[in-house]
C-alpha cells in the first residue's frame, strides 16, 4: 500500500494540482463557458402596461392612421418589383418592395474579411429563411401573402440620402399592411413602425430577422450568435443552440430586445413601458467563406407582438460609444457588450487600453503590451514576496524532511499525525514561510487572464486591428506556424528555469516542467491579442525575476535539534 501523505507533501501536491487546474480551467473556459439557464416555457406578461406618451423632442416616425380595408377599386399594390436604397453617413440599406424587406444592410465604417463594407444580411440565409424585417405571426407562422406582396413605396424607387422616411403600403384581398422606416443622417438607429389588418381587423404580428445575422465570416462567430432581452436589471441571453429543439418565447415590458453575433447587434427599443415579445429560433446556414457542406447553427429572432409595432431599432456595431449614444435606454444598453463575470476587472482594463491607444500609441497591439507591463509592475511587490517565500521553503526542505522522516508510516487518523502537522506549522511560523506562497502570482493572474480573454473577445475596437505581422488581434494568427504561441512557450520555460522551486520532489518537478507545453497547446487556438498579453506577461516576469535573483538572499538560521536528539538516543 502507498504510504499516506504527510502535511508538507500534501501541500506541495496541492500546489502542483493548482497549476494544472489553472491550465485546465483556462482551456475549459474557452470551449465550455457557461451560459445562463433559460426557461423553456413562454413567459407572458401578466398585466397590460399602458403606453407612455413619446417624447416630443424625439425623431420618432409620426403615427399613421389605422389601416382600413378599402373597396376593390382602391386596392394598393405595385405593378412590379422595385428597389430603393437609403444612404446615411454610417449605413447603406437596400430595400425591395416585394414583401417590403431588406436585401442589404451595409455598415459603411466596418469591413468584412475581404475588405469590403460589411453587409449584416446573410444572402443565402435570407433566401432560405426570409429576409430581414419580414412580418410573421407568433410561433413562427407566416403572415400569408405578405412575403410576395408588391408594396407601393413613396414616392417611388430611387437612391435617397437621409434624413428620409420610407412608407411601404399594401392592401389586397382583405390584407392591409403598412411599414414605415425613418432614417437619420448619422448613427445606427432607425424608427420602424408596422401595422397589419386582416379583414379590417388589427392583427398581432412580429418583425423577423431570420436568415442569419452579422459577420458570419468571423472565426467562431456562430458560438456567439444569440438573442437577448433586458429584464430586472440584467440582460438575459438565449444562445442559438438553446433554440434548436423548440422556439423560445419571452414577453414583458422589456426596455430592449434583440439579436447579436460577436461584434454586431440589431436591438429593438419599444416605447416606454410598452410590452414587447421576442421569439428565438435556430437556423442552419453556411458561414461566408465556408464550404457548402459545413453549415453552422445561428440564432433567428422575431420581435414586436402588437397590431401596431412602434420601435426604434439599433442595427450596428457593439461599440460602447455607439450604444451609449442611444437615448432613452440608459447605461443598460451598453451592457450588450458582455464583459462576463469579470466585468469589474475588464471594464477598467478596457478604459486603460483606450486611454493608451488615444494618448500614447495608436495601435491596439502596443496598447496591450503597455497595459500588461503596467499591470505586472503594479503586481511586482506580490511577486517579490512570493519569491522570498519560495526561497525560504527551499532552505527549510532539509528540516521538513527530518520531521517527515520521524513520522514516516504514521496514518492520517493516528494522533501523532496532528503532532507532525503542528511541528511543520511551527517551523513555517518560526521562519515566516508560506508553503503555498509560490502559487500566489498565478492565482492573481487568473482574474486578469479571464478579464482580458473576455475583453479581447468582444471588444470591436480590436477587430481587424493589426500589430507587426498579426493581421487581426481578434483572431488567431494566420501564419502556417503561429509565432506568438511558440514564443509564449519558450518564455515560459525560461521563466520557470529562473524561478526558485519550493519542493525537492522529483515527480512534482517533472510535472511542472510540462506546464509550458500544456499552456502552449491551449493558447495555440486563442486570438492573437490574448496570446500577446500572456507573452508580454512572461517577458516582464523574466525581467523581474532576473532582478530578484540579483538581490541579496535572506539566509535562515536553521537548527537540526530534532535530528541530533534522535542520534543521542541511538548512542545510549
What is the per-residue pLDDT for 51? 32
Mean pLDDT of 129-150: 89
Q: Among all chains, which residue has been given the C-alpha cell 432581452?
A: 229
User: pLDDT-derived band of residue 281, with 50, 70 and 90 as boundaries?
Assistant: very high
Strands of 60-127 (E only): list them: 83-87, 91-96, 101-111, 117-119
What is the per-residue pLDDT for 221? 86
Best CA proximity match to 498, nearest among 541, 455, 556, 454: 541
Q: Is the pLDDT of residue 265 over 50?
A: yes
Mean pLDDT of the residues in the chain = 81
Lowest mean pLDDT among 158-172, 343-357, 360-374, 434-448: 434-448
Q: Is the pLDDT of residue 177 over 90?
A: yes
Per-domain boundaries in the chain: 7-29+352-550, 71-327
- The pTM score is 0.77
Q: Is the pLDDT of residue 397 over 60?
A: yes
User: How do residues 197-235 score in pLDDT, each as one tens digit?
Assistant: 998 899 999 999 988 899 998 888 888 999 999 998 899
What is the per-residue pLDDT for 514? 75
What is the per-residue pLDDT for 91? 95
Q: Which residue has the higher pLDDT, 302 or 145?
A: 302
Helices 561-571 and 380-406 cross at an angle (nearest 10°) of 10
> Could you give the 3-state DSSP secondary structure of residue 301?
strand
The residues with which 381 forms a beta bridge, in sequence order, are none
Q: What angle do CA 171, 173, 174 make, to 5 degrees?
A: 70
Instruction: Please state, as a whole number, how many other Cβ atoms lie within 10 Å of the Cβ of residue 346.
Output: 25
Provide, rounded to the nearest whole percent, the portion of the chain with pLDDT above 70.
78
What is the per-residue pLDDT for 282? 93
User: pLDDT-derived band of residue 41, with 50, 70 and 90 as boundaries?
Assistant: very low
Mean pLDDT of 257-274: 94
DSSP 8-state class, residue 527: -
Lowest mean pLDDT among 243-247, 329-333, 510-514: 510-514
Q: Is the pLDDT of residue 314 over 80?
A: yes
What is the per-residue pLDDT for 239? 93
User: How do residues 55-109 score in pLDDT, each as one tens digit?
Assistant: 333 344 444 455 554 444 478 999 999 999 999 999 999 999 999 999 999 999 9
User: How do residues 496-553 score in pLDDT, each as one tens digit?
Assistant: 887 766 555 556 666 667 778 888 888 888 889 989 998 999 999 899 888 877 876 6
DSSP string, 469-511: TBS-TTS---SSS-HHHHHHHHHHHHHHHHSPPS---HHHHHH
User: pLDDT-derived band of residue 168, with 50, 70 and 90 as boundaries?
Assistant: very high
71-327 is a CATH 2.70.98.90 domain: yes
User: How do residues 289-302 score in pLDDT, each as one tens digit?
Assistant: 888 888 899 999 99
What is the per-residue pLDDT for 419? 79
User: How do residues 148-166 score in pLDDT, each as one tens digit?
Assistant: 999 999 877 777 887 889 9
Provide, rounded to the nearest whole percent, the portion of the chain with pLDDT above 90.
43
Q: Which residues are CB-contacts of 339 (< 8 A; sequence separation ≥ 6)?
A: 346, 347, 350, 451, 454, 455, 458
Q: Is the pLDDT of residue 566 over 70?
A: no
Amino acid at each position: 500500500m502507498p504510504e499516506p501523505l504527510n502535511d508538507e507533501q500534501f501541500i506541495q501536491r496541492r500546489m502542483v494540482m493548482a497549476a494544472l487546474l489553472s491550465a485546465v480551467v483556462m482551456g475549459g473556459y474557452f470551449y465550455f463557458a457557461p451560459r445562463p439557464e433559460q426557461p423553456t416555457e413562454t413567459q407572458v406578461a401578466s398585466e397590460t402596461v399602458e403606453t407612455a406618451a413619446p417624447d416630443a423632442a424625439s425623431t420618432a416616425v409620426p403615427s399613421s392612421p389605422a389601416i382600413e380595408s378599402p373597396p376593390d377599386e382602391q386596392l394598393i399594390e405595385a405593378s412590379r418589383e422595385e428597389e430603393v436604397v437609403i444612404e446615411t453617413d454610417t449605413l447603406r440599406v437596400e430595400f425591395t418592395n416585394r414583401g417590403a424587406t431588406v436585401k442589404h444592410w451595409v455598415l459603411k465604417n466596418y469591413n468584412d474579411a475581404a475588405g469590403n463594407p460589411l453587409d449584416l444580411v446573410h444572402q443565402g440565409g435570407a433566401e432560405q429563411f426570409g429576409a430581414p424585417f419580414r412580418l410573421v405571426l407568433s410561433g413562427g407562422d407566416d403572415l400569408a401573402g405578405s412575403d410576395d406582396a408588391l408594396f407601393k413605396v413613396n414616392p417611388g424607387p430611387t437612391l435617397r440620402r437621409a434624413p428620409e422616411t420610407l412608407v411601404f403600403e399594401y392592401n389586397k384581398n382583405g390584407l392591409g399592411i403598412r411599414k414605415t422606416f425613418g432614417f437619420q443622417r448619422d448613427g445606427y438607429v432607425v424608427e420602424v413602425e408596422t401595422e397589419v389588418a386582416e379583414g379590417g381587423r388589427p392583427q398581432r404580428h412580429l418583425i423577423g430577422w431570420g436568415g442569419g445575422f452579422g459577420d458570419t465570416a468571423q472565426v467562431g462567430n456562430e458560438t456567439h450568435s444569440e438573442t437577448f432581452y433586458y429584464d430586472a436589471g440584467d440582460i438575459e441571453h438565449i444562445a442559438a443552440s438553446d433554440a434548436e429543439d423548440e422556439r423560445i418565447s419571452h414577453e414583458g415590458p422589456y426596455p430592449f430586445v434583440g439579436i447579436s453575433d460577436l461584434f454586431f447587434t440589431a436591438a429593438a427599443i419599444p416605447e416606454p413601458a410598452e410590452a414587447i415579445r421576442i421569439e428565438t429560433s435556430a437556423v442552419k446556414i453556411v458561414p461566408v467563406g465556408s464550404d457548402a457542406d459545413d453549415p453552422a447553427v445561428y440564432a433567428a429572432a422575431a420581435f414586436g407582438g402588437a397590431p401596431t409595432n412602434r420601435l426604434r431599432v439599433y442595427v450596428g456595431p457593439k461599440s460602447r460609444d455607439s450604444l451609449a449614444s442611444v437615448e432613452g435606454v440608459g447605461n443598460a444598453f451598453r451592457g450588450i457588450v458582455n464583459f462576463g463575470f469579470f466585468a469589474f476587472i475588464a471594464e477598467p482594463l478596457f478604459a486603460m487600453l483606450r486611454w493608451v491607444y488615444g494618448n500614447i500609441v495608436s495601435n491596439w497591439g502596443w496598447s496591450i503590451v503597455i497595459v500588461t507591463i503596467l499591470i505586472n509592475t503594479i503586481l511586482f511587490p506580490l511577486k517579490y514576496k512570493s519569491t522570498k517565500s519560495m526561497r525560504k521553503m527551499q532552505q527549510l526542505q532539509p528540516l521538513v524532511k527530518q520531521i517527515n522522516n520521524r513520522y514516516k508510516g504514521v496514518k492520517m487518523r493516528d494522533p501523532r499525525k496532528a503532532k507532525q502537522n503542528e511541528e511543520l506549522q511551527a517551523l513555517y511560523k518560526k521562519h515566516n514561510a508560506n508553503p503555498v506562497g509560490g502559487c500566489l502570482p498565478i492565482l492573481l493572474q487568473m482574474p486578469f487572464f479571464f478579464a482580458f480573454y473576455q475583453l479581447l473577445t468582444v471588444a470591436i475596437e480590436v477587430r481587424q486591428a493589426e500589430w507587426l505581422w498579426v493581421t487581426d488581434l481578434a483572431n488567431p494568427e494566420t501564419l502556417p506556424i503561429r509565432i506568438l504561441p511558440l514564443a509564449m512557450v519558450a518564455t515560459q520555460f525560461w521563466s520557470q528555469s529562473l524561478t526558485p522551486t519550493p519542493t525537492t520532489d522529483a515527480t512534482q518537478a517533472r510535472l511542472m516542467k510540462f506546464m509550458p507545453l500544456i499552456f502552449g497547446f491551449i493558447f495555440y487556438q486563442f486570438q492573437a491579442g490574448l496570446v500577446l498579453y500572456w507573452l508580454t506577461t512572461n517577458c516582464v516576469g523574466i525581467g523581474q525575476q532576473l532582478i530578484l535573483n540579483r538581490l541579496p538572499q535572506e539566509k535562515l538560521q536553521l537548527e537540526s535539534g530534532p535530528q541530533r536528539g534522535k542520534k543521542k538516543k541511538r548512542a545510549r
